[in-house]
A and B are shown apart, each in its own frame.
Chain A
């Protein structure tokens, strides 16, 4: 799993590549830590290269979404592949996280 985080003005663009699973979930959690503190976050997460997520990944996305909402910010996940999207649909995450 590769992650890049870029700040473009007010917006933060996160790009995910590869499989998010039990081997790298802790690292992912650590990598996105800076996003948990900015005052009014506006985050786009490009998922076009993310091929897989397990519940380990889901819990991190939910924590991030909770934290973003609590700070009055917004977060959108973009270009999700159909298999990953199905995981978000089945778990109800499609209703609580914006996906475009």
Chain B
């Protein structure tokens, strides 16, 4: 299932709830927590940074491979080319004083999902995240 949101300014919640309501989502609470967190971080990234003033579209979709039970979430936008996976992971061994505030969103996606993949194609940023579920 897939939907295009346009414009996306202030639409984070709507996009997150659309994805989480997909019939492809697992019912297990712990898995849902991890997926929701990753979805929120990835969607926020696009809504906040992809377009100047949030004026632009985001296509959000899910699919489930019934054989492997691998859930795929795909986000596509036509904003500034940006590979979120290029960002260096935060150093989680630093003290509170040394830690920088922020920079945890995509790191959390990486930790919570099984895989994250980015490609730039036909002028679109395409981010896919997968998670094996137990439906």
Contacts and interface: CB of A to CB of B under 8 A. Distances in A.
Interface in B1-43: 12-13, 16, 30, 33, 36-37, 40-41
Chain A's interface size range is 20 to 34
A91 B105 contact: no
A55 B95 contact: no
Contacts of B37: 52, 54, 87
Interface string A52-63: 101110110011
Contact of B108 (A22, A83, A87): A87
A43 to B, nearest CB: 14
Interface string B74-115: 000000000000000010111111010110110110011000
A54 B107 CA distance: 12
Interface of A is mostly: helix
A83 B40 contact: no
Contacts of B59: none
Interface string A68-88: 010000000000000100010
Contacts of B33: 52, 83
B44 A22 contact: yes
A23 B95 contact: no
Contacts of B90: 91-92
A54 B93 contact: no
Given A62-B99, A69-B96, A96-B96, A22 B12 contact: yes
Contacts of A42: none
